[in-house]
Structure 1
């Protein structure tokens, strides 16, 4: 396991830094504001599905899951949330993360519950939110469910190039429902081309502070794929 360090980002929220990779889990300009911009505003708010089934690639600190849980509670939206993570974070580091205080959600204990429930089984976090944390490898896993929304939050292509390929995106395309969307913080040309080659229609959107653009990809129902 690589060493992980808790770092403070510019909006006051935490991220995790891996010195050997020189890589942060979130934007240093603001972990929470980036997650809200990319995954909540461009993803969850863009979809009108209710109930909605979400797949996250990279559970990490649980920030995206927690923000989505907050949305489920505030809007009484029914969400089934599957999150894939190959290397879960150490429990002691999770206790330090300040997301509940920063987000100021009244049910702070739900953040702890996200991390305390068992892996590889569906657990009810609240009446509106069911979670299955999957400990596995994206390249090897065989998805049994169909999804309406994908949060693609893997490490950057420079760090994990094998997760940003046409083959991976085709795999995700095949496990989504018609008109499903995929959102990601990375807007590199190789990512856009891989998404388009796998059958998605890709749109570049304005990024959060510190990032010019993000991507939203849509599964077109009449696609040749």
Structure 2
């Protein structure tokens, strides 16, 4: 897997990352969602640099301009529900993209901290020969991303696949790397050191879905 860790170069992205991590600022759920969206826009811009471009003529009021435009057929697949603000950021830039959505959630064991990934809903267009972007803001253990990639296989073979995350854990990134092909790209804003016993990223930011949309009842 080819890893693009944007935190290796300081940029404006650092401001948004600091705000989504700050336990006081993140109490404003609207601001949290918007910051995730803006991080998605930055990740989309960086990703766009490796897409396929071809020259196109554009008629202006005064003449003809030649622009290089991307020619990829893009499908954005987001993991519900936490992936929705990140999805919006990507869609702001890839505004002609098709869209897919999947519910991949952790079902925890009542006794231990073990869990399995349960998929109950999936809607997806044809992926054959297209550019697939899989969006999940938190790449913790990596199991949700891998389960999603496996669940999408019946919909066709993408020409290329990109994973988009905001924060990942080293172990989770390593897990995905061990499971996927070398030509898959990971675009991520930061990679943190650890996971706790419940599989949450440390220092991370907490539960992205709860921060964006409110606490959920546990099954």
TM-score (norm 2): 0.42
Higher normalized contact order (CA 8 Å, seq sep 6+, divided by chain length): 2
Q: Larger strand proportion, structure 1 or 2?
A: 2
Task: Give 1 or 2: higher helix fraction.
Answer: 2
